[in-house]
Structure 1
Amino acid sequence: MRRVALTRFVGYACVGATGTLVQYMTLAALVMAHTVGPVVASCLGAVAGALINYYLNHRFTFRSGLPHAKSAPRFFVIAAAGLALNGALMLVLTHLADVAWMVAQCVTTAVLLVLTYTASSVWTFRVSKT
């Protein structure tokens, strides 16, 4: 059981790397172009990354048999909570703690990886055994 959980977590992290890459590219492009600040840019990137992550996690990481009508709302509730936490952590780290925006994003990503994986495992893609 532990091996399955570890394998699934590694898969989740690998799939998440795709969404994270999209988020970081969006963050960097918007901040470096002086379009928006790092908190807003990070949140916009997180939305783009979440769309990619939903599909890849449904299809590959969890190989979910749940219909999208059931798993998508669950995923996006967790994504919305993650988005709020992402924004809050970025705000605290970049404005209050004066951490560089890319370092702040790396810390935020690590925190959210653990939290969203746990929520996805136990709620979003879990098929009830009834």
Structure 2
Amino acid sequence: MPRHAVLAQFLRFAMVGASGTAVQYAVLWIGVERFGVGAAAASGAGYLLGAVVNYVLNYFFTFGSRQSHLRAAGRYFTLLAVGWCLNTALMWLLVHEAHWYYWVAQVLTTGLGLLFNFAGSRWWAFRPER
């Protein structure tokens, strides 16, 4: 795939990710500000909810996958489980150990997660069968 096609795919992935991120950030804000939930737990819950939105949009819009949902979803949610662990651990480390403001920590964590999730989605989860 030419470099410009990969870039276009990354931009679609980022747009789809923005919808999942909006869900995650809303859950983070509501959890922390309205219900007094810890930032790491609220962020983790939001990550899970956003993941469902992202799967559907990435399957059809970003990657145009033709593989079975059993295979694609299994791989995608395995990838996201690892990403969720990384997200939650990094949020815990930055907010509770390094005492960063939770929004700054979440923005950094989101950027790293975007790169991790795109690479894993492109080269593993939605990779066409040979």
TM-score (norm 1): 0.97
User: Which position in structure 2 is the counterpart of 1:20?
Assistant: 21
How far, CA to CA, are the matches of 2:25 and 2:8 in structure 1? 25
Structure 2: distance between partners of 1:54 and 1:35: 29
CA RMSD across the alignment: 0.7
> What is the CA deviation profile of residues 32-81 of structure 1, one whole-angstrom value per residue up to 9, with x for unaligned ones?
01331100000000000001000000010001011101100000000100
Structure 2 portions without partners, runs of 5+ = none
Any runs of at least 4 consecutive aligned residues in structure 1 with deviations exceeding 2 A, and if so which? none
SS of alignment partner, residue 65 of structure 1: coil
Q: Which residue of 2 aligns with 1:43?
A: 44
Cα distance in 2 between the residues matched to 1:103 and 1:51: 25
* Aligned residues between the structures: 129
| 1:78-93 map, 5 Å | 78-93=79-94
| Alpha-carbon shift at residue 128 of structure 1 (Å) | 2.3
| Structure 1 alignment gaps of length 5 or more | none
Alignment of 1:45-60 (within 5 A): 45-60=46-61
Identity of aligned residues (%): 41
Query: Aligned partner of 2:105: which letter?
Result: A
Letter of the 1:65 counterpart: R
TM-score under structure 2 normalisation?
A: 0.97
Please name the residue that 1:120 is paired with.
Answer: 121
